[in-house]
């Protein structure tokens, strides 16, 4: 058995070319065994990745989540075998060679694309192109914000991204690079795999974009290098680290580097090389070892890198132990909101029940946020250029600006895609609870990142106002109809549509307490009356739905509504009782997802056995789950129109009279 001393001596002679070839071999062998995957990018970027990890990046596989580690984001997530090969070579305990041998197989950690939470050291889920680089912008921003609060002795790390042509072609990347350049996020370094190949063939088939010029125009520091010249790559990274701007390093590479017949071709992009080409590649790169076999000296050279990261972590822990800000820093990174936040919300609810406050729920959200933001420094707000429509800023929230990251409010600009992805990055980085606003209709633009929020289980709060035809004159382009159904169909996403100021405060409380799930607050433009009769310490929205109005006699019909339509349901119930002697219960259902989580007995007690009518100014899709085959629906059957809100509700027959008529039809 080779001694450690002997291995160390031999490893010192291992070249970065040998280390890079280990990545190439593991990538092509894993894809071949799975008969599925993308070997070309890992083989082409192996040299760049080797330089980055062997000379620069500070990570510690033994403690992969220490707060001041460098972040690595594989934005070109289809090249996941690059990351898995690195993790095996670096010695992550959950990435033995057997995981590489089970690439893309059920239950393995080596999923087709890197999945946050599936394996140690994966900072974010990537795969949908453009999301990785855009999420990394949020991480880099969080690093600067956390450093502004706690000092460079505790927070001073880089966010490194490997991105491909697809990442840069996706529209979200434009929003991300523009925001990063504007904010001068100098700890963000993007290594672009400039191989001029996409799945269809040469990128010249579909683009003539001068990407370096594009990044330069956005305010980035830009360099171009031969991605297979390790010294040139290293010099470029060193220069990027010294820049006062975010950096792009365009690394000209050969996709499938090392494959003698297929290298440089789209044929290596998304398919195994095949046995013959793998044999030829082994000979071409001088790799005589069996599949999944890495010689001890090369493996030891990679494991030495982990030792450097461990030393960096130990030095940081010593600084943390001596820092007067230790307690505040650890509290921020843990993300635990103080009980004072929820006490403030309780007092807020009591105050406004007593006042019977009538406001739009977007205004109610602003008022609740005033209490929240005064009680904690962890919340960080923003809006996609709709601050004074979404009402997401509160007293004392200074804005984040280039070279000044001490504030708590981010002007994301007209960038819904980029805002949502950046909020994911802020949440993943740690230290803050992000929320951001736009109109509900523009959830379409934010959708890709919202889905990843749910997939990764991140506490991101989406404040989406102008939630129905109630926004009025802006018309059908701005009036969401199908959006609630789309959001409710998303797993692990709480969709809150509160009916009044009290439910709004309750929904904010629930969103903040949902540490492993994103939330959407769907809020009205029009004023809504307060519907609660008395204050309760209980958060009634926490069960998703509850009986707001229970008739004295036997229940003849149940009216179920959300948001602004709860007021209509209450008026309909009063009409039914006064004019027809019909006992109607009203159920407010602010969150379907939480109601689904309640036990059967509770759901039955709320819904009852009487015929049911759902009332919501949106599409019917999904409501049959609650109203059954014999239930009725009062809502939208198509798109909206441009007119004042009261006229629209009458035009589309979403009125107390229509609800009462539907009830009479059901029960008489």
Residues acting as catalytic residues? 416
CA distance 418 to 627: 38
Question: Minimal CA–CA distance to 550: which of 616, 610, 497?
Answer: 610
- Do residues 18 and 258 make contact, with C-beta atoms less than 8 angstroms apart? no
Burial of 609 (0-12, 13-18, 19+ CB in 10 A): exposed
Annotate 303-360 with DSSP letters as a single string: HHHHHHHHHHHHHHHHHHHH-TTHHHHHHHHHTPPPHHHHHHHHHHHHHHHHHT--EE
Beta-carbon contacts of residue 250 (< 8 Å; ≥ 6 apart): 192, 194, 211, 212, 222, 223, 224, 225
- Do residues 520 and 508 make contact, with C-beta atoms less than 8 angstroms apart? no
CA distance 117 to 125: 8
CA count, 13 A, side-chain hemisphere, 98: 4
- Do residues 256 and 262 make contact, with C-beta atoms less than 8 angstroms apart? yes
Annotate 409-464 with DSSP letters as a single string: EEE--S-HHHHHHHHHHHHHH-S-EEEEEEEGGGHHHHHHHHHHHHHHT---EEEE
Distances (CA, A) of 395 to 368, 369, 402: 12, 10, 21
CA distance 613 to 561: 8
Q: Residue holding tokens 């939330």?
A: 519
Question: Minimal CA–CA distance to 408: which of 388, 389, 432?
Answer: 432
Q: Residue holding tokens 């949020």?
A: 138
CA distance 447 to 640: 21
Provide the token pair at 409.
Answer: 């409010």
CA distance 438 to 392: 9
Distances (CA, A) of 348 to 130, 433, 436, 502, 541: 41, 21, 22, 8, 15
Provide the token pair at 93.
Answer: 């305990």
Residue 146's φ and ψ, nearest 5 degrees, are -70, -35
């Amino acid at each position: 058995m080779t001694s450690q001393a002997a291995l160390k001596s031999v490893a010192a002679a291992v070249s970065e070319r040998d280390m890079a070839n280990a990545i190439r071999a593991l990538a092509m062998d894993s894809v071949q065994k799975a008969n599925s995957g993308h070997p070309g990018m890992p083989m082409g970027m192996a040299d760049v990745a080797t330089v980055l990890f062997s000379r620069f990046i500070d990570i510690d596989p033994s403690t992969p989540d220490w707060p001041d580690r460098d972040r690595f984001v594989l934005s070109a997530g289809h090249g996941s075998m690059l990351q898995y090969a690195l993790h095996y070579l670096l010695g992550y305990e959950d990435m033995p060679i057997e995981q590489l041998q089970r690439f893309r197989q059920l239950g393995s950690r080596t999923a087709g694309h890197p999945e946050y939470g599936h394996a140690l050291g994966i900072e974010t889920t990537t795969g949908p192109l453009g999301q990785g680089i855009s999420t990394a912008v949020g991480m880099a921003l969080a690093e600067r914000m956390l450093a502004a609060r706690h000092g460079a002795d505790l927070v001073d790390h880089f966010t490194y991204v490997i991105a491909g042509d697809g990442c840069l072609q996706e529209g979200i990347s434009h929003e991300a690079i523009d925001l990063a350049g504007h904010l001068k996020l100098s700890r963000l370094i993007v290594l672009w795999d400039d191989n001029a190949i996409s799945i269809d063939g040469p990128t010249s088939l579909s683009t003539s974009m001068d990407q370096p010029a594009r990044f330069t125009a956005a305010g980035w520091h830009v360099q171009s290098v031969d991605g297979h010249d390790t010294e040139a790559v290293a010099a470029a990274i060193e220069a990027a680290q010294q820049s006062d701007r975010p950096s792009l390093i365009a690394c000209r590479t050969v996709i499938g580097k090392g494959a003698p017949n297929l290298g440089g071709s789209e044929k290596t992009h998304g398919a195994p090389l095949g046995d013959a080409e793998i044999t030829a590649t082994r000979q071409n790169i001088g790799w005589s070892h069996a599949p999944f076999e890495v010689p001890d000296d090369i493996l030891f050279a990679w494991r030495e890198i982990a030792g450097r990261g461990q030393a960096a972590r130990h030095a940081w822990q010593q600084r943390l132990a001596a820092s007067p800000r230790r307690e505040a820093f650890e509290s921020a990174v843990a993300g635990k909101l103080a009980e004072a936040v929820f006490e403030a919300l309780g007092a807020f609810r009591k105050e406004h029940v007593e006042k019977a406050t009538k406001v739009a729920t977007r205004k109610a959200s602003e008022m609740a946020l005033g209490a929240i933001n005064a009680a904690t420094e962890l919340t960080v707000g923003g809006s996609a250029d709709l601050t004074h429509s979404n009402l997401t800023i509160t007293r004392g929230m200074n804005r984040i600006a280039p070279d000044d990251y001490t504030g708590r409010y981010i002007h994301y600009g007209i960038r819904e895609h980029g805002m949502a992805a950046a909020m994911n990055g802020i949440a993943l980085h740690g230290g803050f609870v992000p929320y951001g606003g736009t109109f509900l209709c523009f959830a379409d633009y934010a959708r890709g990142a919202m889905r990843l929020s749910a997939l990764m289980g991140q506490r991101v709060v989406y404040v989406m106002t102008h939630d129905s035809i109630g926004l009025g004159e802006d018309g059908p382009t701005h009036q969401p109809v199908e959006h609630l159904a789309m959001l409710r169909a998303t797993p692990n996403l709480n969709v809150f549509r509160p009916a009044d100021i009290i439910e709004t405060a309750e929904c904010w409380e629930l969103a903040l307490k949902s540490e492993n799930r994103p939330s959407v607050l769907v809020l009205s433009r029009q004023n809504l009356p307060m519907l609660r009769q008395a204050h309760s310490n209980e958060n009634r929205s926490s069960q998703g739905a509850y009986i707001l109005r229970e008739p004295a006699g036997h229940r003849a019909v149940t009216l179920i509504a959300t948001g602004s339509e709860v007021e209509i349901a209450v008026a309909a119930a009063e009409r039914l009782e006064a004019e027809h002697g019909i006992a109607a219960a009203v159920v407010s259902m602010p969150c379907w997802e939480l109601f689904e989580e309640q036990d059967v007995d509770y759901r039955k007690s709320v819904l009852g056995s009487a015929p049911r009518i759902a009332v919501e100014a949106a599409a019917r899709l999904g409501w049959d789950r609650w109203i059954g085959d014999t239930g009725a629906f009062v809502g939208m059957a198509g798109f909206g129109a441009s007119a004042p809100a009261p006229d629209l509700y009458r035009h589309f027959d979403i009125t107390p009279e229509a609800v009462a008529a539907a009830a009479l039809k059901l029960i008489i």
